[in-house]
Structure 1
Amino acid sequence: MAPRYDAVVVGAGFGGMGAGIQLDRLGLSDYVILERENDLGGTWHVNHYPGLAVDIASVTYSYSFEPNPYWSRLFAPGAELKKYAAHVADKYGLRRRMRFGVVVDGARWDVDQEHWVVTLAGGETITGRYLLTATGFLSQPYTPPFPGIESFAGKIIHTTAWEDDFDLTGRKAAVIGTGATAVQLVPEAAAKVAELTVFQRTPIWVVPKVDVPIPAAVQKLFARVPAAQKAARMVNTSLLEAVMVLGVLHFDRARPLNRAAGLLAKAHLRVQVRDKEIRRKLTPHYDFGCKRPTFSNSYFAVFNRPDVRLETESIDHIEADGIVTADGRKTEIDTLILATGFDLWDVNFPAIEIIGRDGRDLGKWWRDNRFQAYEGITVPEFPNFLSLNSPYSYSGLSYFTTIEAQMKHMGRLFGEMRRRGAQTFEVSEAANARFLAEVTERLGSSVFYAGDCSTARSYYFNPHGEAALLRPNSTVSTHRRAVGFPLADYTFGSGAETPARSA
């Protein structure tokens, strides 16, 4: 029984769109992209809080094969990323393959029919020869279970569900969280509210943001001479690589570079914040890179304002009109802003139930046997399955580095299938184990293990204490591997054959 689609893609963010573009290139054009939101764009559709902007220079945070010469700033505001996503979807004919407002409950491999059966909320099922999950790394919002939060009588708003018509003017507000989102939001909120309290559990490394408008003349140059924008992308990528690959992933051999980045952040803090005690509270006590650092020229300066207060005491409970900390003090507020980030490991890996061969539950298997995926994309016992946001898949600081590497992996894998006349693939247990051992060894010299990350509370670490998110390779080596991994690491089957299972 033939499946309804060549492929089912879950997620219409940049990862899912990249997968769709590559499926078209491979001649697998009968696919569907399922998206739970009411439009495409992933995080750039869901997030639209004040101050939202990309924290990687826009010339790098975009598809290399689809440059946008018209970014208004070096670090483009979120609305431009959303517009860019719509442009890509329209240009590459992706929108007509998308179904919005569709919640995927789970997927199961049908061993007899050799295809995936995907179940949607409401009971509908669809089938696809291949299953690709592109649900993103930051797709499951997290709200800590603060005691009493349900009794709060004021306004509660999570940054992933921002209401554009919500007016902060004159409010007594609190922001819980000091991650990258809060760094962007807090200065915007402080400019409007009457009083603002920022509840910080863990300070974040913040470095100066060299952000400037991109002149119209430069935009025209990029449009007329694409090589100019390509060169700008290469320079920016090289700088990111220096920080990420050398200072973070090769921390043991490049401690001076890591220390220099930390000193830059501390100098930035010292220049911007007058009060010595506040500076002390805002200074991280973990190595640079244990948590994803961010850029801002205005976040630290906010804490010089008389109407802004930094609170580092832990939250005990929430009452109808305020937040009570562990020392018994109460901060009266009428607005509670949750910048509490995302639940990466508990519900995001995977974001839906996925059942492979012999009833193997991917989520349970990962939690029982370590989080792992061969080359950050395929998993043994899960035929015809590509997980585009997997353990050890994130390469470089720009998500597009990961997306395009995975597109290349798809190209090599499906090209071999076409050459063999095969319809099924499955990575071998041996190849997967070899890759896991390799990345584990390489990460041993990273800041996550060779540095001090004990107080970071970083989402890079899973519940087992493993930094199982980032791939310990440079962008160049990751892309080289994507087009040159051993084809013998996969087994292939044609039609009614099931791939031979490797030890």
Structure 2
Amino acid sequence: MPLTPLHEVAIIGAGPGGIAAGVKLRAAGIDDFVVLERSDDVGGSWHENHYPGLGVDIPAIAYQYSFARNSKWSRMFPLGAEVKQYHADVARRFGIYERVRFGSTVEREEWDDDGRFWRLHLADGSEVTARYLISAVGAFVRPKADSGIAGQDSFKGKIQRPSSWDDDYDMTGKSVAVIGTGASAVQIIPAIAPQVRQLNVFQRTPVWSIPKPDFTVPPAMQRALGIPGVQPALHGSALVAIDLVLRAVIKSPGRVIHPVMDGFDAACLAGYRQYLKRVVTDSDTRAKLTPNFGILAKRPTMSNSYLRAYNRDNVSLITTPIDKITPTGVKTRDGALHKVDVIVLATGYEVFSDPETYRPGTVVGRNGFDLAKFYNEEGLQAYESVSVHGLPNRWTLVGPYSWTGSGWHAFVEMTAGHAVRAITESRRRGAVVCEIRKEAADAYHDQIYKQGESLRYYLADLNGHVPTYYRNSQGDSTYVRPSSFFEARRGNRKFPLDDYKFETPVAVEVSA
């Protein structure tokens, strides 16, 4: 008989996805599970990140669980502390905290062919075993340890990172360099500009930063949002609108949609130039802040203060490429040395959609199947974005072609639902192995890749000159799912159960 693992289900990560998976397991009557979290509290990025200005960039009603809607958000776009508290409250309300092992970093996932379960090797040398495994690591897997800039370790001043911000360090009156102008930097720059003496922003690629319709939610509006059905209707309406756009892009022939994309980008750029004229006073700075790519080619940002920060006398935008970091500051290729007390490295994360994010030997499945080797040789792919042939009893909540244009919670709910449905069926059949069939996985990938033709045109052809994590190193747009949200939800809720192969203990013994 197969060996008995310590837990029936293990979840890696206690961020939004891990919490959703735990709630859905309990709703299905599966209570024997453990959540392995590398940090010391739940919330994922919302716990690890607490830098100045941190907040969500989509409305709160679209950034929450459908099973735990909150009508008491203080702002239309809440700040980080409130979002973190929301996740902690949900985890506490649904009894997830009692299942979390904090300070547990999973370094290697190894399928035990004999026992038919997963062995999870932790950084402290211990091991956790589980019959089923749900990876809820999230989209931004780990901060980039190396900025790619020579001399990073030689700097004698203070280095701040968005993912490990030192709140006790006072930057008042300091000279500060911010390297990078992505989503984190867009929030940090206007937040610290009023307190520092000098702020030098080193920009490689300008970012789209559009107005943010943010405001304090009045009590009357909170009461209205608390009426049953109001929030689902508002959120559903937004999803329908996004669906219509995605369907038009995906379903239309290239000869029709490609010229539309060209015109869309041109119109957006023309409008953005006019917007910049209204909010940025200096013409040279305005030119440096003007993108030469489409609004959807990189992650667009929303801010009412980022662009205006460059109107301050103590803020400078530097676009000359960086040569190296020195003990006293940042040296650019024109030979100028910009001396600073603090460097903020806002240089980004390793993202789930890049093959390089997956290290060889860290996820090893049946008969030595290596996920990193597979992704690098065959391209990123997974059945309904959650299941890979060769990795039995394992599902990932944020996998290849997963983001549907919705808030993160909406799609991790449906991918968690997929995993729980497969586990529930496996239990019903008395099986110990549940693995997606190769033919089903291949057919799904062929379909989804074909549907992504227009997205690849937009990201790799029309905007191929701009670096973006929407397009990976293989030239594929594996970040975005080329289907509508409702099509994705239906696929995860109603996938044919026979697309999986279930093995009972008797069958396992015979095959062994």
Shorter-chain-normalised TM-score: which range?
A: over 0.9
Q: Using a 3 Å threshold, how does the CA distance of structure 1 residues 206 and 352 change in structure 2: closer, same or farther?
A: farther
Quickly say closer, same or farther: Cα 1:299–1:245, change in 2 above 3 A: farther
Pair 1:443-2:452 in alignment: yes
Aligned to 1:34: 36
| Residue 300 of structure 1 pairs with residue 307 of structure 2 | yes
Matched, 1:493 2:503: yes
Are residue 464 (structure 1) and residue 474 (structure 2) matched?
Answer: yes
Over 3 Å counting, the alpha-carbon distance change for 1:321 and 1:246 in structure 2 is farther
Deviation at 1:425, TM superposition (A): 0.9
Distance 1:245 1:320 in 2: 52
Secondary structure at 2:61 match in 1: coil
Identity %: 38
- 2:490 aligns with 480
Q: Helix, strand or coil for the counterpart of 1:497? A: helix
Q: How far off is 1:217 after superposition?
A: 1.6
| Matches of 1:305 and 1:289, distance apart in 2 | 28
Letter paired with 1:88: V
Q: Does 1:187 align with 2:215?
A: no
Deviation for aligned residue 1:259: 4.9
Q: Aligned letter for 2:496?
A: P
Q: Does the 8 Å contact 2:48/2:164 carry over to 1?
A: yes
Note the 1:39-58 alignment, pairs <5 A.
39-58=41-60
User: Relative to structure 2, which stretch is displaced further, 442-451 or 368-377?
Assistant: 442-451
CA offset at residue 304 of structure 1?
1.4
Superposition pairs of residues 98-497 of structure 1, within 5 angstroms? 98-142=100-144, 143-223=146-226, 225-241=227-243, 252=258, 254-255=260-261, 257=264, 259-344=266-351, 345=354, 348-349=357-358, 353-446=362-455, 448-449=458-459, 452-497=462-507
- Cα distance in 2 for residues equivalent to 1:319 and 1:289: 35
Moved more, 350-359 or 172-181: 350-359
User: Which whole-Å deviations, capped at 9, do the CAs of 1:280-339 have from their partners, x for residues lacking one?
Assistant: 211111222111111111111111112111111111011111111111111111110111
The letter for the 2-side match of 1:402 is F
User: Letter of the aligned partner of 2:143 in structure 1?
Assistant: P
Q: Which amino acid counterpart does residue 476 of structure 1 have in structure 2? A: F
Which has the higher mean CA deviation after the structures are superposed, 169-178 or 457-466?
A: 457-466
Rounded Cα–Cα distance in structure 2 between residues aligned with 1:90 and 1:354: 30
Q: CA RMSD in A?
A: 2.3
Q: Name the TM-score, length of structure 1 as normaliser.
A: 0.94
Describe the SS at the equivalent of 2:172: coil
Distance 1:54 1:380, change over 3 A: same
Q: Distance in 2 between matches of 1:363 and 1:391?
A: 13
Corresponding residue SS for 1:331: strand
Structure 2's unaligned 5+ residue stretches are none
Deviation at 1:488, TM superposition (A): 2.5
Letter in 2 for 1:200: Q
In structure 2, C-alpha distance between the alignment counterparts of 1:401 and 1:428, rounded to whole Å:
26
- In 1, distance between residues paired with 2:21 and 2:438? 25
With over 3 angstroms needed to count, the CA separation of the structure-2 counterparts of 1:260 and 1:71, relative to structure 1, is farther
1:170-220 CA distance string (max 9 Å, x none): 111010010111111110111111111111111111211111111012112
Q: CA deviation at 1:394?
A: 1.7
Matching residue's letter, 1:229: Q
| Structure-2 change in CA distance of 1:40 and 1:444 (3 Å) | same
Aligned mates of 1:352, 1:254 — CA distance in 2? 44
Q: How many residues align?
A: 500
Cα offset for 1:423? 2.8
Deviation at residue 407 of structure 1 after TM alignment? 2.6
Q: Deviations over 1:35-83 (max 9, x none)?
A: 1111110000001101000011110011112101111111110111100
In the aligned structure 2, how far is the partner of 1:440 from the partner of 1:235? Answer: 28
Measure the CA separation in 1 of the matches of 2:251 and 2:157: 44
* 1:75 and 2:77 are equivalent in the alignment: yes
Q: Distance in 1 between matches of 2:175 and 2:250?
A: 39
Which amino acid letter does the alignment assign opposite residue 81 of structure 2? A
Contact 1:110 1:116 in 2 (8 A): yes
* Residue-by-residue CA offset, 1:443-491 (whole Å, 9 max, x unaligned): 1112545752222210122221211111111111111111222222211
Q: Which one-letter code corresponds to 2:54 in the other structure?
A: L
Structure-2 residue corresponding to 1:61: 63
